[in-house]
Structure 1
Amino acid sequence: MKPEHRKAKTIAIDGPAAAGKSSVGLALAQHLGYLFFDTGVMYRAITLLALEQGVPLDDEEALGVLAETTIIDVQPPAGHDDGRYYTVLVGARDITWALRTPQVDASVSYVAAHPRVRLALTAQQRRIGQRGRVVMVGRDIGTVVMPDADIKFYLDASPEERARRRYDELVARGQEADYDAILADLRERDRLDSTRAVAPLRRAPDAIYVDTTGLSRDEVVERLLDLLGAREEVSSS
């Protein structure tokens, strides 16, 4: 009898902004029955708190203290029927929806660039990842946060494709959108993410590269499931 394939308990998905990490990671997690953990929510949480408390976004010491003293948890969305994909808690406060404001969107890359903030939040991300049964999405998961993840994917797409996706998302929400401005913002975000001093955006040597340009979310998910099956078969042979 053929042995049962070993299922990856920790799956890391990295890549630049709007490469499809979140939508693909969510669908993959739902298919597997895993927690979907977009680690960007932790940086958004610190950004939200900094904005609320009037902490300057260029004050690394103050932001570092905030990140070091704030316990953030990410849990499955059980018990909520408001369309959320996970629940983000700071203590007993549910901040899940407060993380998606335009003010947080515009500020999070600057907060995430501070080494002290990244160091503090990396430890919290590992704590959640080590529970297992998680699809963890971000920009340094396979290289820094979970270098020993069972399997790593790096999703990418052309800047023009990523800008078009972001434009379509905003229009679908009824928000005004400027494609050229979005493209310029994505390129600047790529520059910030890839040149920061700590944990820059890069592909882990053992990550599987997947170009999502021209592919639908479902097509990418099917590709990852195929790759997971292939990896599981190799690991069990």
Structure 2
Amino acid sequence: MRKKITIAIDGFSSTGKSTIAKLIAKKYNYIYVDSGAMYRAVTLFAKQNNFVGKEFLYEEKLISKLKEISLSFKFNEKLGFAEMFLNGKNVEKEIRTLAISQLVSKVATISEVRKKLVAEQHKMGNKSGVVMDGRDIGTVVFPNAELKLFMTASADKRATRRYKELIDRGDNVSFKDILFNVKERDRIDSTREDSPLLKADDAIEIDNSDMGIQEQFERICTLIDRKVKES
């Protein structure tokens, strides 16, 4: 049986981390965990309960309700990947909106939220054969992962990709708002006190500003195959 490893994919927002992680999971039959979806689901919960908005964040109120938040992934055979469920309800579409994107970095700064989700991520990936993407996977969640990747791209390229994705889905958004959101999330993610977005010392950086999905996928598969042989 071919040895399986743990793959940690970190990087800035809208760099295609989830897309690549899903392709890897499918090719190698690995467990895929979208850590960003977990933070988005908590943000949706906070928004639904008026704990967070553009101008406010009631940390203590959200922290007091964390025990009421149940998160799970359920595989959708038609889509070919697992969808996010919040307290038993499929919230995959709701968590991908710009409204949630504008708030998620704010919620992710709360230490108690990060502690809860990191503990759950450890449980999901306590065996090899897992690929997880996020902001602190290689530095906090899986510091001993055999392969760590750090995805990056220019803010303009990332905003363009995100804008197209939302427009194609039928959302009414402006490129200016998307670009501002990308830059603001970069700032918050990189400067938060608890588990800021950092490139792990042993992570391989991949700048995909001018790379297509297939080119990235093939390059990463080469890295995985090499690491499996070395392990």
After TM superposition, the score normalised by the length of structure 2 is: 0.89
Matched, 1:137 2:133: yes
Kept in 2, the 8 Å contact 1:14–1:21? The answer is yes
Q: Where does residue 217 of structure 1 map in the other structure?
A: 213
Q: Distance in 2 between matches of 1:230 and 1:204?
A: 19
Q: Where does residue 182 of structure 1 map in the other structure?
A: 178
> Match of 1:76, SS?
strand
Q: Distance in 1 between matches of 2:21 and 2:150?
A: 11
Q: Where does residue 54 of structure 1 map in the other structure?
A: 50
Q: Which amino acid letter does the alignment assign opposite residue 65 of structure 1?
A: S
Kept in 1, the 8 Å contact 2:4–2:129? The answer is no
Distance 1:98 1:131, change over 3 A: farther
Q: Distance in 2 between matches of 1:75 and 1:35?
A: 12
5+ long unaligned stretches in structure 2: none
How far apart are 1:156 and its partner, in Å? 0.9
Q: Distance in 2 between matches of 1:92 and 1:17?
A: 27
Q: Distance in 2 between matches of 1:169 and 1:93?
A: 24
In the alignment of these two chains, the number of paired residues is 228
> Match of 2:18, SS?
helix
More deviation, 172-181/137-146: 172-181
Kept in 2, the 8 Å contact 1:154–1:203? The answer is yes
| 1:50-89 map, 5 Å | 50-56=46-52, 58-78=57-77, 81=78, 83=79, 85-89=81-85
Q: Where does residue 205 of structure 1 map in the other structure?
A: 201
Q: Taking every aligned residue pair, what percent have the same amino acid on both sides?
A: 36
Distance 1:75 1:206, change over 3 A: farther
Q: Write the deviation string for residues 65-108 of structure 1: whole angstroms up to 9, x where unpaired.
A: 33344232224334xx3x37213234433333332244323221
Distance 1:68 1:142, change over 3 A: farther
How far apart are 1:224 and its partner, in Å? 0.4
Work out which of the residue numbers 25, 30, 33 in structure 2 matches 1:34.
Answer: 30
Q: Distance in 2 between matches of 1:5 and 1:199?
A: 33
Q: Distance in 2 between matches of 1:117 and 1:227?
A: 33
Q: Distance in 2 between matches of 1:126 and 1:162?
A: 29
Q: Distance in 2 between matches of 1:55 and 1:178?
A: 26
C-alpha RMSD of the superposition? 2.0
Distance 1:15 1:54, change over 3 A: same
Q: Write the deviation string for residues 167-217 of structure 1: whole angstroms up to 9, x where unpaired.
A: 221232233443333222211110000000100001011111111111111
Q: Distance in 2 between matches of 1:55 and 1:14?
A: 28
Distance 1:98 1:169, change over 3 A: closer
5+ long unaligned stretches in structure 1: none
> Match of 2:32, SS?
strand
Q: Provide runs of 4+ in structure 1 moved above 6 Å.
A: none
Q: Where does residue 159 of structure 1 map in the other structure?
A: 155
| 1:93-132 map, 5 Å | 93-132=89-128
Structure richer in strand, relative to its length: 2
Kept in 2, the 8 Å contact 1:157–1:213? The answer is yes
Q: Where does residue 146 of structure 2 map in the other structure?
A: 150
Q: Which amino acid letter does the alignment assign opposite residue 167 of structure 1?
A: Y
Q: Which amino acid letter does the alignment assign opposite residue 130 of structure 2?
A: V
Q: Distance in 1 between matches of 2:50 and 2:185?
A: 23
Kept in 1, the 8 Å contact 2:4–2:128? The answer is no
Q: Which amino acid letter does the alignment assign opposite residue 62 of structure 2?
A: L
